[in-house]
Amino acid sequence: MANDNDAPWKKYDSAPDASAAPGPWSRYEPDPGATPPGRSATDYVRDAAAWGAKGAVAVPEAVVGLADIATGGRAGKFLENEGGAVGFRPKQAREAINEWHSDATKEAQRKFQEAEGLGGKFQAAIENPSNIVGAVVESLPAMGAGGV
């Protein structure tokens, strides 16, 4: 009978050496020292309100876009009222609404923006599923208006 210490599977019983060189997948593993910002119940409500508001801004923006097609861009220029105090400025509205988001959502959005390539974007979306939820919530008002 062979000695039990000679069993080939014994070399896999112990945990890997922490001082060993990092493996090829280490860049995809989260940094154990970094703590992602958490979300409170209030943060979830703020994020949902911000996503809904950005979706609500998209509806009149789409209507003005269609009017621009028919008028050669004159409708958007007229409604923008560039020199006036009041006007239709959806880009500025979305930027102001972005400030409503929680720190955790802002961090998730930053990671997604910094990701490179399709694989990087996919990885960022999987690591931060709130980005996916936000995109769906933002698109609901426009989809509803399109159905009308």
In a domain, 29, yes or no: no
User: What distance in Å separates the CA atoms of residue 59 and residue 19, rounded to the nearest whole number?
Assistant: 55
- pLDDT of residue 25 exceeding 70, the answer is no
Contact of 22 with 29, CB cutoff 8 Å: no
- pLDDT of residue 16 exceeding 80, the answer is no
pLDDT value of residue 139? 92
DSSP-assigned letter for residue 102: -
CA 107 from centroid of its chain's CA atoms: 9
Q: Tell me: the pLDDT tens digits for 99-124?
A: 999 999 999 989 998 999 999 999 99
Compute the mean pLDDT over every residue in the chain, rounded to the nearest whole number.
Answer: 82
3 state SS of 135? helix
| Residue 13, both tokens | 């019983």
Domain that holds residue 132: 40-147
In a domain, 16, yes or no: no
Q: Tell me: the pLDDT tens digits for 45-55?
A: 999 999 999 99
In a domain, 119, yes or no: yes
In a domain, 66, yes or no: yes
pLDDT value of residue 72? 93
3 state SS of 18? coil
In a domain, 52, yes or no: yes
Give me the count of residues in the chain. 148
- Our separate counts of H helices and E strands in the chain read 6, 0
pLDDT value of residue 87? 83
How many domains does the structure of the chain reveal?
Answer: 1
3 state SS of 64? helix
pLDDT value of residue 147? 83
In a domain, 28, yes or no: no
In a domain, 82, yes or no: yes
In a domain, 125, yes or no: yes
3 state SS of 142? helix
* pTM over 0.95, yes/no: no
Q: Tell me: the pLDDT tens digits for 26-80?
A: 665 555 555 556 788 888 999 999 999 999 999 999 999 999 999 998 998 888 8
Contact of 115 with 124, CB cutoff 8 Å: yes
User: What distance in Å separates the CA atoms of residue 89 and residue 81, rounded to the nearest whole number?
Assistant: 9
Average pLDDT value for residue range 14-19? 58
| Residue 141, both tokens | 């008002």
